[in-house]
Amino acid sequence: MDLNDLLPYLIGAPVLVAGAVAAVVVRRRRPGAPTTDERTAPPAGTTSSTTAPPEAPAPDVATPAATTDAAAPGVEVPDTAELTTAPPLETPAPTAGRLRRLRERLARSGSPLGTRLLGVLSRDHLTEDDWDELEETLLLADVGAGPTDELIAALRTRVRVDGLRDGAQAREVLREQLLALVDPTLDRSLRTSPTTGEDGTRVPAVVLVVGVNGTGKTTTVGKLARVLVADGSSVVLGAADTFRAAAADQLETWGSRVGVPTVRSDRDGADPAAVAFDAVRTGVADGADVVLVDTAGRLQNKAGLMDELGKITRVITRTAPLSEVLLVLDATTGQNGLNQARVFGEVAGVTGIVLTKLDGTAKGGIVVAVQRELGVPVKLVGLGEGPDDLAPFDPEAFVDGLLEG
C-alpha cells in the first residue's frame, strides 16, 4: 500500500478520536445525578405485578442549555434526596415536673381563688359578712355547694378553737382544708400496662377518650400519646371520630410527630365502632402497649350518639378490656361540665377526668366538684397550648399553686 492509499486513514483518525472525546464529554453526569438506568427505574417503594425491562438508552443528542439537566459552571445542584427527607421525630418532654409549670402560671396570674380566700382569712376579726364573702368566693370558683359548706364549717371550727394569729397560719389552715377537699388519697395513676388474655395473647391497654365538642378532646388524645411515648410506651391511635372531617387528619398529624401510627377510615361517616375495633386489633398485632381511641364529640342531650358510644364500648371489649375511659372537660365551663360528667358517667363508665384550660382560671374548684359528682379522680390537666402541656394531676402542687398568688 502506497502513501496515496494511506492518506484517507491518516486524515480520518483525528476525526474519530475527537468524536469519541466529545461523546465522553456529553455523557459525563454531574455528581449525584441519576444514571440512565436510575432514571428509567420505577420509584422506590412502588410495586408491580410484572417488571418491564429497562428501555434502551436514548442516543446522545445535544440539547439546548435550557432543557439539559447538566449544571451550569459554578452552580451547585441540590441533592433531591435531601429535599424529600422526612423531618426528624420529636422527643416529647419528660412528664416529671410538668405540674410545676401550672403552679408557676397560677402564681403569675394572681391565683384569684387562693388570694381572695387568704385575703378574707387574714383579717383581724372575722364577721358574718366575712364568712359570707368566703362562701361566695368558693361558689364562684365552682367548688360546689356541698364542698363549700364543708370547707366553711371546717374553717369556722379551726378559727374558733385555735384562732388565726397571722397570715402564715391562715395560709396553713386553708391549705390543709383545700387539700382535704381535693382528696390526695384518690388513685390518679393511668392504667396503661398491657395484659395477657385468656388464650395467652398479649393484649394492649385500651384507653377510650370521650367528651363533648369544643373541649379539646382530639388535641388531648394527641398530647396523651406524647405523654405515653415520653414514659416509654408504644402506642396506636384510633381515629373513631369519623363525623368531623378534619379529626382523623389532626390525630394523624399528632401521631406522626412522635412516630405513632394512626388507624383511620378512608371515608367520612364510617362506622366509628369498626374503626375502634380495627385500632385495637392493630394494637394486638403490633404488640403495642396502649391503644388510644378518639371518639366524636357528643352532646349529652343526643340520645342516639350516646347509644353509639355504648356500641363502641361493646365492640372494643370483644377483643380487649377497656383499661380507662377518660372524660375530657373544659375547666371553664363550670356547672355545665358537671352535667356532661354525669351523663357520660352513666353511659361510658368514666374512670378518670382530664381537665383542659385549667391554667390561670378562677374556676379551679371544678376539680373538687367533678370528683364529687362522679366519684372518680382528675388524672390529667391541660396547662396551655403547647404540645407537652398535659400533665399528671398532683393535688399538693395544685393547691400550692392556688395559694401562691
Amino acid found at 75:
V
Question: What digits encode the pLDDT tens for the residues 110-161?
Answer: 456 778 888 888 888 889 999 999 999 888 888 888 999 999 999 999 888 8
Contacts of 315 by beta carbon, 8 Å cutoff, 6+ apart: 273, 274, 276, 277
Domain assignments of the chain as residue spans, ordered by start: 109-182, 195-395
What's the rounded Cα separation, in Å, for the pair 30 and 77? 9
**Distance in angstroms (rounded) separating the CA atoms of residues 350 and 343:** 10
Give residue 87's pLDDT band: very low, low, confident or very high (50, 70, 90). low
Residues 353 and 345 sit within 8 Å (Cβ to Cβ): no
User: 109-182 belongs to which homologous superfamily?
Assistant: SRP54, nucleotide-binding domain (1.20.120.140)
- Residue 305 host element (H or E): helix 303-316
**Confidence band, pLDDT 50/70/90 cuts, at residue 186:** very high
**Chain centre to alpha carbon of residue 138:** 32
Q: What percent of the chain has pLDDT over 70?
A: 72
Could you tell me which of 283, 254, 287 has the C-alpha nearest to residue 390?
254
User: Would you state the pLDDT for residue 340?
Assistant: 75
Name the pLDDT band for 18 (thresholds 50, 70, 90): very low
> Are the beta carbons of 403 and 114 closer than 8 angstroms?
yes
Residue in the structure block whose three cell numbers are 411515648: 229
Find out whether 201 and 319 touch, Cβ atoms under 8 Å: no
Known binding-site positions for GTP = 211-218, 294-298, 356-359
Phi, psi of 63 (to 5 degrees): -120, 155
Q: How confident is the model at residue 316 (pLDDT cuts 50, 70, 90)?
A: very high
Q: Which CATH number fits domain 195-395: 3.30.70.980, 3.30.70.100, 3.40.50.300, 3.30.450.20?
A: 3.40.50.300
pTM: 0.75
Binding residues, by number, are 211-218, 294-298, 356-359
What is the maximal distance between C-alpha atoms in the chain? 137
Are 397 and 99 spatial neighbours (Cβ–Cβ below 8 Å)? yes
Which of the 8 DSSP states describes residue 254?
H
